[in-house]
Structure formats: C-alpha cells, structure tokens
Structure 1
Amino acid sequence: MPGTVFGVGPGVFILALLWVLTLLLCVVLSRASGLARFSVILVFFAAVIITLALIFFPRASELPAPPTEIKIVDTFFIGRFVLLAILSVVFLGCLFLLLIHHILQPVYAKPMRATS
C-alpha cells in the first residue's frame, strides 16, 4: 500500500504532530500571565475539534481497493526467437564443421618398408 510507514497512513502522523504541537503550546501558554493563561483551554478544544474532524471525515475508504491483476507481457518475444534461431543455425554449422574437419579426418596408411 503506497503512502504508508510501518503500516499506518499519513493521518496518524498528522494527529501525532497536532497533539505534540498542542502539548507544547499548552506548556508555553501555561507559563504566561494574565488572560493568555486561559487560552490553553481554547488551544485544547481546537485540537479536539480538529482531531474529531480528521477521524470522522476521512478522505480514504476504510477498506483498501482490491489489487489489480498484474499482467506480465514479454515485449522481446519475437527478438528472442530470432536470436534463438540464429544461435541454432550457428550451432548446427559448427557441429557440421567439427564433423568434417576433426572427426571424419582421413587417416592415410603409412607405407610399409619393404625389406628384401
């Protein structure tokens, strides 16, 4: 499945990043003084609303699409048979030349010395 890391999609990483940023912002705002200190509640509820929107309105379906059947096509089919035919002709020609020049080489009888 494309677009996944460790079997989870990008939505999980977006939610994790959202909550890490929310936590950091809440820590920073909790140190503030005055009315800014109470904005932590708004940040928290904004993160909750964004999380609920991402969970209840996903962009992809829950079930993955069925995989399409992969067809293997041999595009070099004719070229492979032409190469096989050429190699077969060369092999048979070499076998014929080996038969003529090496195996069927004539052996001439050596003359016997005549002793009288």
Structure 2
Amino acid sequence: MEGTVLGVGVGVFLLALLWVSVLLLCVLLARAPGVARFSVIFVFLGALIITSVLLLFPRASESPTPEVEFKIVDAFFIGRYVLLTFLSAVFIGSLFLVLIHHILEPVYAKPLRSY
C-alpha cells in the first residue's frame, strides 16, 4: 500500500484536517455578533457534504494489489563465514595474549633491606 502512514491513507488525514478546521471555525463563528453567528450551520453542512463525497467516491480500489514475492539470495554467504572465522580466531588469540601478559603477569618479590 503506497502512500500510507501507519497503515492509514491520505483520505483519513484529509478528513481529520477538514473536521479540525471546521470545529475551529465553528467555535470562532459562535462568538461572532449578529447574523454571522448563524453561518456555523452552513459551515457544518458544507463539511458534511465534503465528508460524504470523500467517503462515497474513494479513489483506491478496495482490494489491495497482489504483492510480488521476492526471493532473497545471500551471495556473500561463504565470505561472511570466512570473515566470522577470521574474527573469531583474532578474538581468541587476543584473549590468550591478555591472559599471558596481563592476568598471569609475574609479580617479583622485592629484596628485603638488611641493616
């Protein structure tokens, strides 16, 4: 499904924008003095007509188009395992060197001073 955000198409966002703007306009016109206050009815009816047109005449088909199945081929399969083997050997060799030079480092006793 192309052109969707969170699985929702453009039409839903268009309807939400329409009704938020109509709600804001109705609140502003409700505070207007005189005859302008009654234009809220026309704004609301206009939004209903636009909503019904958008709902009754959808652009996209109701059945989704069948997706083409792609077969994923790993062309670097052998090279990946060679690299993994090399890195594992380097890691084990590094652990061995740390064991010899850091952990098993000999501690020599200091000679005692005799007076």
Q: TM-score range by the shorter chain?
A: 0.5 to 0.7
- 4+ residue runs over 3 A deviation: 69-73
Query: What letter corresponds to residue 44 of structure 2 in structure 1?
Result: F
Number of aligned residues? 76
Mapped partners of 1:2, 1:57: distance in 2:
19
Corresponding position of 1:66: 66
Match of 2:3 in 1: 3
Q: What CA deviation, in whole Å up to 9, does each residue of 1:85-110 have, x standing for no partner?
A: xxxxxxxxxxxxxxxxxxxxxxxxxx
What corresponds to 1:90 in structure 2?
A: none
1:33 and 2:50 correspond: no
**C-alpha deviation, 1:62, in angstroms:** 1.1
Aligned partner of 1:19 in structure 2 is: 19
The code of the aligned residue for 2:25 comes to: L
Deviates more, 1:60-69 or 1:14-23: 60-69
- Rg larger in structure: 1
Segments of 5+ residues of structure 2 without an aligned counterpart are 74-115
**Could you tell me how far apart the structure 1 residues matched to 2:12 and 2:40 are?**
23
Q: How far did residue 69 of structure 1 move?
A: 4.0
When normalised by structure 2's length, the TM-score is: 0.59
Shift of 1:71: 6.7
1:57-116, Cα deviation, whole Å (9 max, x unpaired): 00111111111344779xxxxxxxxxxxxxxxxxxxxxxxxxxxxxxxxxxxxxxxxxxx
Structure 1, gaps ≥5 residues long: 74-116
